[in-house]
Amino acid sequence: MRITGIRLDRLRLQLDPPFRAAWDPVPRRHFDATIVRVETDEGVVGIGSGDTMDGFEAFEHLFLGTDPLDIIRHVRAIETMNFHSGRYWPLEVALWDIIGKVAGLPVATLFGNVYKRVRAYASSGELKSPQERVESALAVRERGFGAMKIRIDRNGIDEGIETVRLVRDALGDGFEIMVDLNQAWRMAGDVEPALDFAAVRSTVERLRDLGVFWVEEPLPYQDMAGLRTLRAETGMRIAAGEMLPSTSDLLAYLEHDALDVYQMDVVLAVGMHRARTIAEVAQLRHRMFTPHSWTNGIGVLANLHVAAGVGGGPYFEFPYDPPGWTPERRDFMLTEPVEVTPDGYVEVPQIPGIGAVLDEREVERWKV
């Protein structure tokens, strides 16, 4: 089998009303997605998505004519490209999709097959008033979720903690709450300083007293010592790593025992194969792997296959914050959006590959 072509379809879904992402000071009036199709001489086509793939055309020749099943060679090639340019892990997703289709198995089976479904937590994306967030949490529980992540603005800590307190009071101790401080990385041009260590420690202690399951990205990535100290001084689970760009970064975090929960996104950080390796090392050290999955439905599926394959958990991130962010918006390019079951799980599609089925009409409709 040989790769005969790699096709990129760039899509832009218009958002009305806009999505007000907590980590982005600019409301989002459109949602971009790049679909990667790897074509072969045997008619098998792999599908991937998750990052922009900007500049990939300069590297396409590195893959044309090669065997798509030579996955380690391709992972190493992508790593060399990432050093010089962007993040091209959606290509690896498409290659694993081919491998699964050739093997006749879901990729999660190839990655270990620990779970066929994983408990989901509803990952909110917007900053809302305390009462609005309580109402959304009640709706989330009614939808089947047993856990939810709430985002807190670093410029509104007291209001954020009050939001968590009200959600805890409304839903009780049986509902898990995670909190994201969004301090590890920034959108381009956001140069406002992060909260200092003392303010973060105080915040984490207050959240601990409300029974929060983990606090995510409380400090910038470069403050590894601060993350270790925060864990030791507060006793709280600390989660991070969604955008760490290399395996060496993640290995350093593991070596210094900086985190309780490793969250590398397989389409934004280190790819599927490397994420699997780091996840297994983390689990051998009695740490958790729960990947970030805030891209689109294809990115959600790629992360799901890795998490289910290696036994990640105890929860899987499910981007969900209606009306601003819904499965229909997130997965607009698929024939059916990825959903949660009535009892709050995300199921691995039991079809060969990663299970992404494109709605070609929607692809054509939103192509730019």
- Tell me: the pLDDT tens digits for 313-348? 999 999 999 999 999 999 999 999 999 999 999 999
Q: What average pLDDT does the segment 251-261 reach?
A: 97
* Helical packing angle, 247-255 and 271-284, nearest 10°: 10
pTM (2 d.p.): 0.97
Calpha distance 70→84 (Å, rounded): 22
3-state helix, strand, coil in the chain (%, to 5): 40, 20, 40
pLDDT at residue 26, rounded to an integer = 86
Q: Looking at residues 211-221, what average pLDDT do you find?
A: 98
What is the band of 84 on the pLDDT scale with cuts at 50, 70, 90? confident
Confidence band for 57, pLDDT divided at 50, 70 and 90: very high
Question: Alpha carbon of 156 to those of 14, 39, 152: distances in Å?
Answer: 30, 49, 7
Q: With bands split at pLDDT 50, 70 and 90, how would you rate the model's confidence at 182?
A: very high
Helix, strand or coil, per DSSP, at residue 174: coil
Apex CA 356: angle with CA 55 and CA 75, to 5°?
Answer: 45
**25, pLDDT greater than 90:** no
Give the per-residue pLDDT at 265: 98
Q: Can you tell me the distance from the alpha carbon of 34 to that of 52, in angstroms, rounded to the nearest whole number? A: 6
pLDDT tens by residue, 296-318 = 999 999 999 999 999 999 999 99
Lowest mean pLDDT segment, chosen from 14-28, 113-127, 145-159, 242-256 = 14-28
Task: Using CB atoms within 10 Å of the CB of residue 130, give its burial: 0 to 12 exposed, 13 to 18 middle, 19+ buried.
Answer: middle
Residue 322 has a pLDDT of 95
Answer yes or no: is pLDDT of 357 > 90. yes
Is pLDDT of 189 > 90? no
The letter for the amino acid at 155 is: N
Task: Give the model's confidence band at 360: pLDDT under 50 very low, under 70 low, under 90 confident, else very high.
Answer: very high
Q: What is the pLDDT of residue 247?
A: 95
Instruction: Report how far residue 117's alpha carbon sits from residue 115's, in angstroms, rounded to the nearest whole number.
Output: 5
pLDDT band at 86 (very low <50, low <70, confident <90, very high): confident
Q: Are the C-beta atoms of 150 and 163 separated by less than 8 Å?
A: yes
Given this model, what pLDDT does residue 195 score? Answer: 95
Distance between CA 5 and CA 49 in Å, rounded? 16
Residue 349 confidence (pLDDT) above 90: yes
What is the C-alpha to C-alpha distance for residues 63 and 19, in angstroms, rounded to an integer? Answer: 36
Evaluate whether 365 touches 11 at the Cβ level (below 8 Å).
no
Q: Side chain identity at 250, as an amino acid letter?
A: L
Give the pLDDT confidence score for residue 312 in this predicted structure: 98
Q: Indicate the SS3 state at residue 151.
A: strand
Q: Count the Cβ atoms, other than its own, within 10 Å of residue 281.
A: 16
Per-chain mean pLDDT for the chain: 97
Position 366 scores a pLDDT of 97
Q: Is the pLDDT of residue 226 over 90?
A: yes
Rg (CA), the chain: 20
Q: Residue 90: name the closest of 279, 348, 265 by CA.
A: 265
Say whether 12 sits in a helix, a strand or coil: strand
Q: Which pLDDT score, from 0 to 100, does residue 190 have? A: 86
Residue 85 has pLDDT above 90, yes or no: no
